[in-house]
Amino acid sequence: MKKLLFIFFTLITFTNVSYASFPVFSNHNDPEGNIGAILEGIASIILTFFLGRYLYRLYKNSLNPGLRFLGLFGLIIFSSLLLLALLLIIDGGL
């Protein structure tokens, strides 16, 4: 138990000491960074579409009640997370 506490405190101390202990230069005019953000946004929209489509088809076409429940539960969780993300984006949180 003492070793575990020692490791825990050592990790916390190392994290606090090394956090931003070096200079950070930010350049917001980098055009390559904008391309990465655009590609990330396109990939996330495609992934969102296919995940929603898969969960809907799982719910609609499954004869097994367990899989049908899994599809419905997945759609509910997926929809709530998507709504939360959209509200955060609209609010400017992300």
Q: Which domain holds residue 52?
A: 48-94
Is 2 within a domain? no
Task: Indicate the pTM of the whole model.
Answer: 0.49
Is 72 within a domain? yes
Is 63 within a domain? yes
Is 16 within a domain? no
Work out the angle at residue 21's Cα, subtended by the Cα atoms of residues 15 and 22, and round it to the nearest 5 degrees.
135
pLDDT tops 60 at residue 20: no
pLDDT tops 80 at residue 19: no
Is 78 within a domain? yes
How many domains in the chain? 1
54 against 4, higher pLDDT: 54
Model confidence over 44-77: pLDDT tens digits?
A: 788 888 888 888 888 888 888 888 888 888 888 8
Is 31 within a domain? no
Is 34 within a domain? no
pLDDT tops 80 at residue 79: yes
pLDDT band at 39 (very low <50, low <70, confident <90, very high): confident
Distance CA 13, CA 37 (A): 34
Is 52 within a domain? yes
